[in-house]
């Protein structure tokens, strides 16, 4: 019987790997176990609870303000005992986190086959996103099987010399998770009912997120200034779940506190967050996952980054890059708020990241190996 170990550590990874955990758990020919590094702790646990996933191994490695080097060393050291205990035939990791790259390296050291979910995304700028771009490239060099979400991500790998028969285009599991999540939202939850009471039905709701390291400092001040200017509009309401990182909190609360139609709230768990996204008129974000989810919700997205490894949505017109540039953010947001034709064109395109069946495609491939 084939033994598969699924490893993840952050909230985005947990969301995107949850459909795979569920799909693999149905397969009698596999023994599947889940290991979490808890690179994120509280935000990770919320996702595990929503998707009803109980990890077999919990490394509990989150430490306040730990450096990337310390986290990397702790993951590399701690995963060893898990690999020795379970002895998997295949380790599945996801995307671009420190967990992904270090678990891939540890598995490579032990001669264990590695499957990379959401493989092949690239900006080819090693500092944007930082450190994710290099994490993803490192993982891509170590992986034996590459599950890419799109043709473009597959093409990136081919251009890097990755063998074609190891690359499999599956769509992105984030769409699987979104569809499952929307069906299973409990609208009677206290936090969702509270949020619903805050939403002004006669306003256009802008949902905002922002947390990327490359935007800390001057860029984040510019980003917040744009939100403040947009809040002056009488037809707009802004809700911003503020990331817990002190670099984010300090700037956001300094510039955006005490604005009547701009609500700063604590980070939402996945269930409440996708409920809120579905209520939005417009999304302003630097999140990769939101760029992928929003087209399925028929919501336009302004991405506050200079480059993105998710070019497909840009090319298809469901997403616009605006950078952390006040003038550009305000200009593009104003266009979408005021011009219904532009708005409808942006939301009218098909989601390039899949149809919600990525996990099934990945499992079917693994079964056929």
Catalytic positions are: 96, 118, 132, 211, 213, 243
Question: Cβ distance 150 to 119 under 8 Å?
Answer: no
Q: Decide: 75 and 59 in contact? Cβ < 8 Å.
A: yes
Distance of CA 58 to the CA centre of its chain: 21
Tell me how far apart the alpha carbons of residues 54 and 35 are, in angstroms, rounded to a whole number. 9
Please say whether the beta carbons of 244 and 274 come within 8 A. Answer: no
- CA atoms within a 13 Å half-sphere pointing along the CA-CB vector of 11: 20
Gap between the Cα atoms of 169 and 344, Å rounded:
29
Output the DSSP codes for 233-278: -TTEEEEEE--S-HHHHHHHHHHHTT-TTEEEEPPPPHHHHHHHHH
Q: Dig out the tokens for 21 from the structure.
A: 């955990």
Which of 5, 8, 19, 154 lies closest to 85, judged by CA?
Answer: 5
Strand partners, 113: 90
* Contact by Cβ (8 Å): 358, 176: yes
The verdict on whether omega for the bond into residue 131 sits within 30 degrees of 0, i.e. cis, is: yes
Class of residue 130 by CB neighbours under 10 A (exposed 0-12, middle 13-18, buried 19+): middle
Chain centre to alpha carbon of residue 284: 15
Task: Give the separation between CA 43 and CA 356, rounded to whole angstroms.
Answer: 23
Cβ atoms of 91 and 115 closer than 8 Å: yes
Q: Are 325 and 302 in contact (CB under 8 A)?
A: no
- Asked if 268 and 187 touch (Cβ cutoff 8 Å), the reply is no
Q: Which residue is associated with the tokens 């409440």?
A: 272
Reduced to 3 states (helix: H, G, I; strand: E, B; else coil), residue 36 is: strand
């Amino acid at each position: 019987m084939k033994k598969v170990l699924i490893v993840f550590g952050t909230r985005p990874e947990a969301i995107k790997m949850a459909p795979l955990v569920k799909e693999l758990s149905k397969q009698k020919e596999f023994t599947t176990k889940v290991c979490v590094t808890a690179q994120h702790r509280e935000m990770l646990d919320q996702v595990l609870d929503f998707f009803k996933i109980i990890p077999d191994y919990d490394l509990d490695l989150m430490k306040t303000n730990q450096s990337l080097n310390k986290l990397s060393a702790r993951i590399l050291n701690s995963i060893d005992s898990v690999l020795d205990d379970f002895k998997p035939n295949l380790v599945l990791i996801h995307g671009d986190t420190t967990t992904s790259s270090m678990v891939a390296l540890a598995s490579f050291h032990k001669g264990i086959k590695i499957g990379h979910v959401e493989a092949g995304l690239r900006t080819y700028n090693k500092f944007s996103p930082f450190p994710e771009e290099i994490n993803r490239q490192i993982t891509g060099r170590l992986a034996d099987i590459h599950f890419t979400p799109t043709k473009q991500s597959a093409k990136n790998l081919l251009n890097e010399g990755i063998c074609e028969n190891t690359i499999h285009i599956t769509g992105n599991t984030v769409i699987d998770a979104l569809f499952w999540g929307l069906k299973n939202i409990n609208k009677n939850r206290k936090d969702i009912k509270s949020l619903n009471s805050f939403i002004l039905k006669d306003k256009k709701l802008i949902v905002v997120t922002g947390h990327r390291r490359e935007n800390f400092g001057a860029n984040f001040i510019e980003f917040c200034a744009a939100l403040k200017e947009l809040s002056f509009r009488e037809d707009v309401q802004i809700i911003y779940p503020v990331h817990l990182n002190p670099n984010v909190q300090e700037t956001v609360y300094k510039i955006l506190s005490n604005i009547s139609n701009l609500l700063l709230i604590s980070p939402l768990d996945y269930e409440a967050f996708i409920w809120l996204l579905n209520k939005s008129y417009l999304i302003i974000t630097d999140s990769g996952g939101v760029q992928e989810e929003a087209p399925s919700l028929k919501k336009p997205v302004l991405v506050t980054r200079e480059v993105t490894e998710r070019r497909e949505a840009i090319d298809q017109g469901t997403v616009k890059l605006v950078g952390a540039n006040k003038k550009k953010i305000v200009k593009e947001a104003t266009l979408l708020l005021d011009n219904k034709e532009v708005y409808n064109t942006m939301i009218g395109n098909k989601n390039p990241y899949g149809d919600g069946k990525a996990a099934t495609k990945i499992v079917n491939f693994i079964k056929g190996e």
